[in-house]
Amino acid sequence: MNFILAIDQGTTGTTSLLIDATSLKILDKEKSDYRQIYPKPGWVEHDLDDIWTSVSQSVGAILKRTKINPQHIIGIGITNQRETTCAYDKKGKPLHHAIVWQDRRTAAYCEENAERYNQICRKKTGLPLDPYFSGSKMRWFLDHVPAVKVAADRKDLCLSTVDTFLVHRLSAGTSYVTEPSNASRTMLMNLKTFNWDSELLNFFGISKEFLPEIRESFSNFGVTKNAGILPDGIPILSILGDQQAALFGQACVRVGDIKSTYGTGAFLLLNTGEKIVHSTTGLLTTAAYAFRGHKVYALEGSAYIAGAAVQWLRDNLKSIKSSAEVSELASQVTDLSEMEHILFLPFFTGIGTPYWNPHAKSAIIGLTRDTHNGHIARACLEGIALSLNDSVASFKKDFPQLNDIRVDGGAAANDLLMQMQANFSQKSILRPEVIDTTAFGVAVGCLVGLGEVGIEDMGKFWRLEREFNPQVSSYYQNKKALWDETIKRLYL
């Protein structure tokens, strides 16, 4: 029996999956969490050694439990948190903690340079100048971290996203590579060419020599060497940023296919095929994947906070003991008239699509003396659904060919939230049997890279578990109107 190892390096931990290369059945999986570092308000960091340890622990646990011969692993697929930015030397030694995608420290830089960026760069990148993306984070490293400056002077600097760091570690530094779905999030890659762009590099003052080579998403990125957790010689065949991996794993390979992934944040991607579509409503234009000369694009909506809002109820308010309890608590509200004026605005790290306000803060409004934890739990779920619905509304305006929404990620298991999403968006919500679609996407990508599976065959591996059909209700229409009015009044 041959196997595929999928490594899903996420914001709060790394999940590794062992998959049967023939049946594509998930045989085992393991998640290893690591610490979140908050040096200042609005700053979020990860220790790269913590990330590597989480990879080693999750992979090691699977190999120990299954007792397979790792020589039978025919390929490794990697998916990762995308905009999180790493600085390390060519030996792989970290020069600073990674700056996480949620981090807001470069907000002032982005505001000061936004007008010039929009004139020079916006069309090339498909992205607004926002602290979310990697370019301003790389600039911050060079401006504020002495070790990074020294490494740059010595031509010993690597600036990359997490996928590249993992390949570098897995290959003992012999491979320094990335692919378009990750590179497109740096603000340094030209969407038309899928290459680093000299004008974009000049804007941020980043030297191309510090950046990895961009290869197609399903290709040979190198082989394992001195990795400790794995034998030498296993090829790394597939890399996708986490949201594009979910798009691929959800078999959204037709124009108009759309997926929504609920993790720490929530992200919707819409396949626009080999056509670059520039949004007029605040959506991002991004790379989906590249293979055999074909460049596939997507429109993206971003909500920075989804599952993290439920975690806040658990960890800060202590109203639930586990995230899974939120649905039961929210279901205590049986009379929706009690919820008409309560809003949970989950903007702990700013607003993404379509408003792009990095300074926005979270709020709960409309409370009365009889408000209880059940009301707040339901408002939290509604706030997540409404945040995502802002992106769905933008999709409808920018790209009329919009299919039903396929969902995945941890919170996709919440039936109440999924029905809310259907009601607010007035689109059917399709939940597959496998909701580990991020890792599944790069696992199938390995077979695509080997030539054993065609992209057009992806639909064969997707199975529906449950469909949530939209219900027409004045409650949801009125709540959406209140949401829009409140955002405009508080944040715009």
Rounded distance, CA 264 to CA 22, Å?
32
Please give the full DSSP string across 317-351, using - where no structure is assigned: I-S-SSGGGHHHHHTT---GGGGTT-EEE--BTBB
Edge-to-edge strand list for the sheet holding 13-20: 26-33, 13-20, 3-9, 73-80, 236-241
Predicted confidence band at 456 (pLDDT cuts at 50, 70, 90)?
A: confident
What pLDDT is stored for residue 259 in this prediction? 96
- Is the pLDDT score of 265 beyond 90? no
How far apart, in Å, are the Cα atoms of 60 and each of 49, 65, 228, 468?
16, 9, 10, 38
What pLDDT is stored for residue 459 in this prediction? 83
- Is the pLDDT score of 46 beyond 90? yes
Predicted confidence band at 264 (pLDDT cuts at 50, 70, 90)?
A: confident
Beta bridge partners of 7: 16, 78
Q: Which of 260, 183, 238 is nearest to 442 (CA)?
A: 238
What pLDDT is stored for residue 457 in this prediction? 83
pTM here? 0.89
What pLDDT is stored for residue 435 in this prediction? 78
Separation of first and last alpha carbons in the chain: 57
Buried b (16+ CB within 10 A) or exposed e, 86-111: bbbbeebebbbbbbbbbbbbbbebbe
408's CB contacts (< 8 A; 6+ apart) are 246, 249, 250, 259, 260, 261, 262, 431, 432, 435, 436, 437, 438
Q: Alpha carbon 147 to chain centroid distance?
A: 29
Rounded distance, CA 299 to CA 269, Å?
6
pLDDT one-digit tens code per residue, 124-148: 999 989 898 999 999 999 999 999 9
Rounded distance, CA 249 to CA 459, Å?
9
Predicted confidence band at 453 (pLDDT cuts at 50, 70, 90)?
A: confident
pLDDT one-digit tens code per residue, 285-338: 999 999 999 999 999 998 989 999 999 999 999 999 998 899 999 999 999 999
Q: Which helix (H) or strand (E) holds 267?
A: strand 266-273
Please give the full DSSP string across 280-310, using - where no structure is assigned: SSS-EEEEEEEETTEEEEEEEEEES-SHHHH
Rounded distance, CA 173 to CA 91, Å?
6
What pLDDT is stored for residue 372 in this prediction? 95
Predicted confidence band at 492 (pLDDT cuts at 50, 70, 90)?
A: confident
What pLDDT is stored for residue 421 in this prediction? 97
What pLDDT is stored for residue 401 in this prediction? 83
What pLDDT is stored for residue 268 in this prediction? 95
What pLDDT is stored for residue 108 in this prediction? 93
- Is the pLDDT score of 406 beyond 90? yes
Rounded distance, CA 376 to CA 400, Å?
35
What pLDDT is stored for residue 228 in this prediction? 87
Q: Give the whole-number percent of the chain exceeding pLDDT 70.
A: 100
What pLDDT is stored for residue 276 in this prediction? 94
Beta bridge partners of 10: none
Question: Of how many residues is the chain composed?
Answer: 492
What pLDDT is stored for residue 410 in this prediction? 85
Rounded distance, CA 267 to CA 269, Å?
7
- Domains of the chain plus CATH, in order, are 3-234 (3.30.420.40), 251-492 (3.30.420.40)
- Is the pLDDT score of 78 beyond 90? yes
What pLDDT is stored for residue 465 in this prediction? 95
Predicted confidence band at 409 (pLDDT cuts at 50, 70, 90)?
A: confident
Predicted confidence band at 172 (pLDDT cuts at 50, 70, 90)?
A: very high
CA triple 241-242-245, angle to 5 deg: 85
What pLDDT is stored for residue 454 in this prediction? 87
Contact 141, 159 (CB under 8 A): yes
What pLDDT is stored for residue 359 in this prediction? 87
Mean pLDDT (the chain) is 94
How far apart, in Å, are the Cα atoms of 208 and each of 214, 369, 397?
11, 59, 37
Q: Is residue 12 packed enough to be buried (19+ CB in 10 Å), middle (13-18) or exposed (0-12)?
A: middle
For 172, phi then psi, to 5°, come to: 55, 35
